[in-house]
Chains A and B, each alone.
Chain A
């Protein structure tokens, strides 16, 4: 065996131990295996100086050395790289219990959430959405709704007046009249919006949100109201929710009903939320009074309808367990951030 080959072999064996990084491994490879300058490469070039009869052996020896060196150095390279990867990971060791960095997503107001939910349910049943004005005339808010000037029902609501004729609407029912004046039946509308009453305590706010629904078509009856309410409460409060109608009074509907649904907290057994009754009052409704239809030029001999009005704040407060209505209008971020539904 050529002593030179042997020497290089020894050099590689001892040199490999000195290699401490993948960069050194790369240099080490270059030192021996570079085609032009590497020591093994140079041995190949020596071939011409080797006597011809030894050339075969020499060549074989060099090739064997080269194969061997490639193996050693590759192994060395892999070893260094995996060592370095590990070191890099270790250097990047972090405290995973440190607080998260969030990209903040805001959310819609709970009133908007409930409103959207209701709109989704009713839009699917064919209801259009109508926005009426918040400033209304006495006529649209009261008179056309069968509540003339000296009607006792006016005492039910404390009205904010802007002038003898104009007022802040006390009910979204005012929108009914605008719709019926401008559209012939079949009518299915939902009229959500802000309404105003001079009332101010933990459960009453001078401004709140109602959603009025109105259906006018041929042959509409109280049974249709019951059927629609059943679908509605099941969708919003769950499949097992039941409804109960009980007599009430609104000037613009006759018969008028108050609608209760079985308590979604206790399922009707009686709890704090439903004050032990098993029922929760959710909305007022009724068959549209013929006088209202007549006021809007709709013939009550041909058409009939039903209407209902839902208080959105009440629904939101029940759903999210909010105890003071004021919290809904203060934009306290500590409140708003919790209501991410």
Chain B
């Protein structure tokens, strides 16, 4: 909320500095986001009187002797056509700062510091200034838009600072207003808070006016949709003379960034800023049928707004109609057909409360925003609605631009603009705060906030003005008390009356943290990626049309198509992360992520989807292989005290022969493998990439498994190395399975060598294993182990055609 200090001072005497006021506002809940002086860029500019002014031959320049009072007399060269001896103009002294303008003398191009200069051989000690150079326009000071020097009045004191004269010593507060305080979306609303915090009197804006007998015969206002329009007030103004607004009004509008248009329109804009109530003025002569009719638009109904755009409406929009046609899009913009023109002679003022969400939806749906719709979206109160109309009529009289007629309409749904009574327990207020605020303090605060308090025993009775819709319960009162009393009075305590609770992570959270730490220990870095991904990611992974991964939840209003689907796999984000790294020259690394996938039971959603945590690991670089990834899988299994088994599998985005399904005690928990070469090429990946994705929801069944201590074997273990010749197709897994089946004493089998080449047949390979036998009931003898080996070899021969290598 842009608030000029000078405007605030109309309602409150402010005897603190702007900075002190900023601090006061901050402490009571109004953060001043920006505080600046209107003329912050202007310095050392004073009133100067031109004593002599001589033309420099063959130029448009003049050389002047300028009296600057206490600052001295200077020779200044000037190119403006209105420089004249005897005139008073702003003088930027040497060292002054003013705005630099482009060649058009209008466009500001930054701030410049005035130095000594020399023009055509004449020394110049300073600069005579235009309005633009001082940041002043016609609405702030008459004559300021002239393309030449800004002419100062005859009575200006020579040598005096020009800033107060031009209003440049004013301050602007840009104040953040929280959503619960729409009543402060106006200068007067802020003034109420300033008065309360400074404990000063608040001066009401003048609402007086005199009604004449003029009236519109049989004029009616009807509201068809009181849910969207709880209050509609209108008043007739006659004998209107459209013209310019007085300087004081133009100036205030300029300070809050509004261009003056004409007196009647300026009044509506002025009230929007002053009281926070959007108003509309209809040219009465364009209204037909002596009626105002507020209704929902018909589907397909059209209106042309003030900005000459035709809009097609539907029944969720609201229109203001005369007896015949729509004349305004309610709360958003007036219709072109009823706008105020130079010829307007009679006006109907509208001051209404429209439902905030309806205006918001209409404004968004039609892409049409105005100061009025922005204000309505925050919510207006009926107190201001009623007050604003009176203020507008007062200003019509004050500006002398019309006569207030008698015709007045007020359609309402019975909401009172009178104060409400609120009773709360003082003890309850204090218990909420945890401190005891003295009753006198509470009384004082409530009085300052104009809540008309009285205390009877423990009961605080307030008479809450209609604009304070936020004060209803004891908690609301507690907030008012503490924000004015000061949060520094809150004494730190530590839940003295609370019961002891036992905190900490649950099993799932602990287990996930354990997994993360285990992955860090093998050189992987944790990444976090967006929970959404792109439809093109599904194509990247080559998912067929009917793949379950394609059944992803779509965001109705995504930031972009790339972030429009909820993830159904973490693999795509990981591939993208690896690709980003490789583009930046990181050609090797290990990344993991634990994040949710979102699997809907049906689309569109009618119940919570299956939201489950997955672990994704991406490793890349020349040192990585299928087996380093398998090692990571084993590390995970070890961390969770479970054992994984692996089966060959294929999916659409991994290498057909270097991909494994991961099973935990027989249950599928995920996959890992090498990224398919075509995808790697698509992503310009320069080193091999391996991916793993595990379903932590399934794995969570094993979370919390405690290590079980196995007593050490009583008898020594025996170990044998077996080199086997097998066909090239035989897998290590097959051999291990056969060995284990053949002898129950085997506790460990480890492959230590694979050989293919001249020493074995062309279609064969040699695999060498170390097999560990652990005795149970009794110690082994050399013969018993030999017997195991014999049996193992027999089974290997039978099942895999394996022969002991000679």
- Chain A interface residues (CB < 8 Å from chain B): 103-109, 111-112, 116, 119, 122-129, 131, 133-135, 137, 149-153, 155-156, 160-163, 165-166, 168, 186-188, 190, 194, 196, 198, 200, 206-207, 215, 217-224, 226-228, 230-231, 244-249, 251, 254-257, 287, 289-290, 304, 328-334, 336-337
Contacts and interface: CB of A to CB of B under 8 A. Distances in A.
B701 interface: no
A194 B523 contact: no
B479 A247 contact: yes
B494 A255 contact: no
B732 interface: no
Contact of B608 (A133, A207, A244): A133
Given A122-B503, A134-B531, A166-B608, 10 more contacts: A104-B590, A106-B524, A134-B596, A223-B435, A223-B493, A247-B487, A248-B178, A251-B180, A329-B530, A332-B584
Contacts of A123: 503-505
Nearest to B355: A150
B555 A149 contact: no
Contacts of A256: 479
A219 B493 CA distance: 12
B759 interface: no
Given A109-B526, A290-B475, A221 B503 contact: no
Interface in B30-72: 31
Most A CB contacts (10 A, CB to CB) among B357, B503, B586 go to B503
A226 B493 contact: yes
B500 A126 contact: yes
A278 B493 CA distance: 25
Contacts of B490: 222-223, 226, 245
Given A128-B506, A249-B181, A287 B586 contact: no
Closest 9 CB pairs of A and B: A221-B434, A223-B434, A247-B29, A331-B527, A104-B523, A249-B178, A255-B479, A150-B357, A219-B497
Interface in B548-602: 553-559, 563, 566, 577, 580-581, 584, 586, 589-593, 596, 598
A91 to B, nearest CB: 30
A153 B360 CA distance: 13
A128 B504 contact: yes
Interface stretch (B328-336, B513-521, B665-673): B513-521
A162 B178 contact: no
Contact of B525 (A119, A215, A248, A333): A333
Nearest to A205: B530
B501 A198 contact: no
Given A226-B490, A331-B581, A332-B580, A135 B598 contact: yes
A220 B509 contact: no
Contact of B529 (A152, A162, A331): A331
B379 interface: yes
B483 A206 contact: no
Nearest to B504: A123
A125 B495 CA distance: 10
Interface string B1-40: 0000000000000000000000000111101000000000
Given A218-B497, A227-B493, A334-B584, A160 B558 contact: yes
Given A246-B29, A290-B475, A161 B557 contact: yes
A338 B165 CA distance: 58
Contacts of A218: 497-498
B525 A221 contact: no
B525 A255 contact: no
Nearest to B176: A248
A105 B516 CA distance: 12
Interface string B459-492: 0000000000000010110110011000100111
Contact of A287 (B181, B432, B554, B593): B432
Nearest to A254: B475
Nearest to B379: A152
A336 B435 contact: no
A247 B520 CA distance: 43
Contacts of A112: 516, 526, 528
Contacts of A133: 608, 611
Contact of B509 (A129, A156, A221): A129
B707 interface: no
A67 to B, nearest CB: 48
A135 B611 contact: yes
B479 A106 contact: no
Most A CB contacts (10 A, CB to CB) among B473, B490, B519, B577 go to B490
A103 B434 CA distance: 55
B597 to A, nearest CB: 11
A186 B356 CA distance: 39
Contacts of B475: 254-255, 287, 289-290
A245 B487 contact: yes
A108 B594 CA distance: 11
Interface of B: 26-29, 31, 178-182, 355-357, 360, 377-379, 431-435, 473, 475-476, 478-479, 482-483, 487, 490-506, 508-509, 513, 516-517, 519-532, 553-559, 563, 566, 577, 580-581, 584, 586, 589-593, 596, 598, 604-606, 608-609, 611
A106 B525 contact: yes
A131 to B, nearest CB: 7
Contacts of B435: 221-223
Given A135-B609, A186-B499, A254-B479, A333 B591 contact: yes
A297 B317 CA distance: 38
A334 B585 CA distance: 10
A153 B483 CA distance: 20
A247 B557 CA distance: 33
Q: What is the predominant secondary structure among interface residues of chain A facing chain B?
A: mixed
Given A112-B516, A186-B499, A244 B487 contact: yes
Nearest to A287: B432
Given A163-B604, A224-B434, A231-B494, A334 B527 contact: no
A207 B596 CA distance: 13
Contacts of A122: 503
Contacts of A223: 433-435, 490-493
Contacts of A200: 559
Contacts of A206: 530, 532, 559, 563
Contacts of B596: 134
A217 B27 contact: no
17 contacts: A106-B523, A112-B528, A123-B504, A128-B503, A129-B504, A134-B596, A150-B356, A152-B379, A155-B377, A162-B554, A207-B531, A217-B497, A219-B431, A221-B493, A226-B493, A247-B487, A337-B525
A255 B483 contact: yes
B566 A135 contact: yes
Contacts of B532: 206-207
A228 B520 contact: no
Contacts of A337: 525
Contacts of A188: 498, 501, 503
Contacts of A222: 432-435, 482, 490
Given A155-B179, A206-B559, A222-B434, A217 B377 contact: no
Contacts of A255: 432-433, 475, 478-479, 482-483
Contacts of A111: 528
A156 B433 CA distance: 26
Given A135-B608, A247-B29, A287-B432, A329 B556 contact: no
Contacts of B519: 106
A105 B29 contact: no
A70 to B, nearest CB: 43
B155 to A, nearest CB: 42
A245 B29 CA distance: 10
Contact of B526 (A108, A131, A196): A108
A168 to B, nearest CB: 7
A221 to B, nearest CB: 3
A105 B523 contact: yes
Contacts of B555: 160-162, 168
B431 A128 contact: no
B611 A134 contact: yes
